[in-house]
Chains A and B, each alone.
Chain A
Amino acid sequence: MKETGLARKVLMPYPVLQANRLVKKFKHTVAVNSASFTVYEGEILGLLGPNGAGKTTLMALLLDLLTPTSGTVSIFGMELRKNREKILNQVNFSSTYIAMPLSLTVRENMVFFAMLYHVPDYEKRIGELLALCEIDHLTNCLTRELSTGQLSRLNLAKAMLNRPKILFLDEPTASLDPEMAQKVRDLLKNLRDTLRCTVIYTSHNMLEIEQISDRIIFLNRGEIIADGTPRQVMELYQKRNLEEVFLKVARGPGIQ
Chain B
Amino acid sequence: MKIYRVMAVVYRHLSLYKRSLTRLMEIIYWPVLDLMVWGFVTLYLQKFQGGLPPFIAFFLGALILWDIFFRAQQGISISFLEEVWSRNLLNLFVSPLTPLEFIAGTLVISLIKVVATFLVTMTLAYIFYSFNVFSLGFPLFLFLLNLILMGWSIGIMTTGAILRFGQEAEVMAWGLAFLFQPVSAVFYPVAVLPPVLQKIAWWIPSSHVFEGMREVINQGGFPAKELIWAFGLNGLYILGAGFFFSWMLREVKEKGLLLKSGE
**Are B96 and A101 within 8 A (Cβ)?**
no
Task: Flag whether B86 is at the interface (Cβ < 8 A).
Answer: yes
By DSSP majority rule, is chain A's interface helix, strand, loop, or mixed?
mixed
Q: Provide the B190-218 mask, 1 if CB < 8 A to any CB of A, else 0.
A: 00000000000000000000000000000
Which parts of A39-72 form the interface with B (CB within 8 Å)? 56-57, 60, 63-67
Q: For window 1-31 of chain B, which residues contact chain A by CB distance below 8 Å?
A: 2, 4-5, 7-8, 11-12, 15-16, 19-20
Q: Knowing A67-B254, A118-B2 touch, does A101 contact B12 (C-beta < 8 A)? A: yes
Known: A97-B263, A112-B15, A113-B95. A65 touches B7 (CB 8 A): no
With A67-B254, A103-B86 known as contacts, the answer to whether A108 contacts B15 (CB < 8 A) is yes
- Chain A residues, CB < 8 A from B7: 115
Q: Are A65 and B16 in contact (CB under 8 A)?
A: no
B220 within 8 A of A: no
CA distance A115 to B105 in the complex (A): 13
B244-259 with Cβ < 8 A to chain A: 250, 253-256, 258-259
Segment touching B, from A87-95, A187-195, A244-252: A87-95
Q: If the complex has contacts A85-B96, A88-B95, are A95 and B11 also in contact, measured as CB distance less than 8 A?
A: no
A84 to B249, CA, bound (A): 15
A118 to B8, CA, bound (A): 9
| Nearest residue, chain A, Cβ from B94 | A93
How far apart are the CA atoms of A201 and B170 in the complex, in Å? Answer: 33
Is B42 interfacial (CB 8 A cutoff)? no
A100-B86 contact in complex given A93-B94, A112-B12, C-beta closer than 8 Å: yes
Q: When the two chains form their complex, are residues A88 and B94 in contact, meaning their CB atoms are under 8 A apart?
A: yes
Interface pair B258/A66, CB less than 8 Å apart: yes
Give the chain B neighbours of A102 by CB distance below 8 A. 86
A31 to B5 Cα, complex, angstroms:
33
Q: B5, B83, B86, B97 — which one has the most chain A CB atoms within 10 A of its CB? A: B86
User: Which B residues touch A85, using CB under 8 A?
Assistant: 96, 98
Among B70-116, those with CB < 8 Å from A are 82-83, 86-88, 90-98
Contact of B88 among A66, A93, A97, A98 (CB under 8 A): A98
Does the CB pair A101–B88 fall under 8 Å?
Answer: yes
B interface list, Cβ under 8 A from A: 2, 4-5, 7-8, 11-12, 15-16, 19-20, 82-83, 86-88, 90-98, 250, 253-256, 258-259, 262-263
Known: A64-B253, A86-B96. 17 other contacts (CB 8 A): A57-B256, A57-B259, A67-B250, A85-B96, A89-B96, A93-B90, A95-B90, A95-B262, A98-B87, A98-B262, A99-B86, A99-B87, A101-B12, A101-B82, A115-B4, A116-B92, A118-B5
Which A residues contact B (CB, under 8 angstroms)? 24, 26, 31, 56-57, 60, 63-67, 84-86, 88-89, 91-93, 95, 97-104, 108, 111-113, 115-118, 158, 168
A-B contact pairs, 19 of them (CB 8 A): A31-B256, A66-B256, A93-B91, A99-B86, A100-B88, A101-B86, A101-B88, A102-B86, A103-B16, A103-B19, A103-B20, A104-B16, A108-B12, A112-B11, A113-B95, A116-B95, A118-B2, A118-B5, A158-B91
